[in-house]
Amino acid sequence: MNIESLITFLRNEIEKTGYKCYSPDLPQELDKIVSVSLGEGTNERAINKDVIYTRIPFYLLIRGTSKDTKTRSIADTVFKQLDHLKDVENDDLRIILISCDPPYYAFRDENQRLHYNINANVQVEWKE
């Protein structure tokens, strides 16, 4: 199972929106960026023993700026890029489906920058 390949895929998809993506943390000095972190997945082996199906939760944190009215728009753009993405091959894995919850306001940090969260799941087929 190649988790690095999955993280790279998710980062590349997010960066297609024009916003830089980091994993797992956001650099303190940058604005209008996204971070992705994976949760603990569940595996199911296929009849073909060389294939594993995994459902992995992942979490996105979107940071805007303190005077920015576009933070929600950034979150919506990232949501639209990933939600219902399906049947994509990448290295030794196949993305079966990504499903995302709509973005929601999370908090303002110590610099008053807005943050939004997106909770999501990805179903993956791994080839060993």
Q: What is the pTM of this model?
A: 0.89
Domain count, the chain: 1
Q: Say if residues 41 and 55 touch (Cβ distance below 8 Å).
A: yes
pLDDT for 97 = 96
Q: Which domain, by its residues, includes 97?
A: 3-127
Of the pLDDT bands very low, low, confident and very high (cuts 50, 70, 90), residue 128 is: low
Nearest to 3 by CA among 75, 78, 93, 69: 93
Q: Say if residues 78 and 33 touch (Cβ distance below 8 Å).
A: no
Amino acid at 1: M
Choose between 7 and 93: higher pLDDT.
7
CATH of the domain at 111: 3.30.2000.10
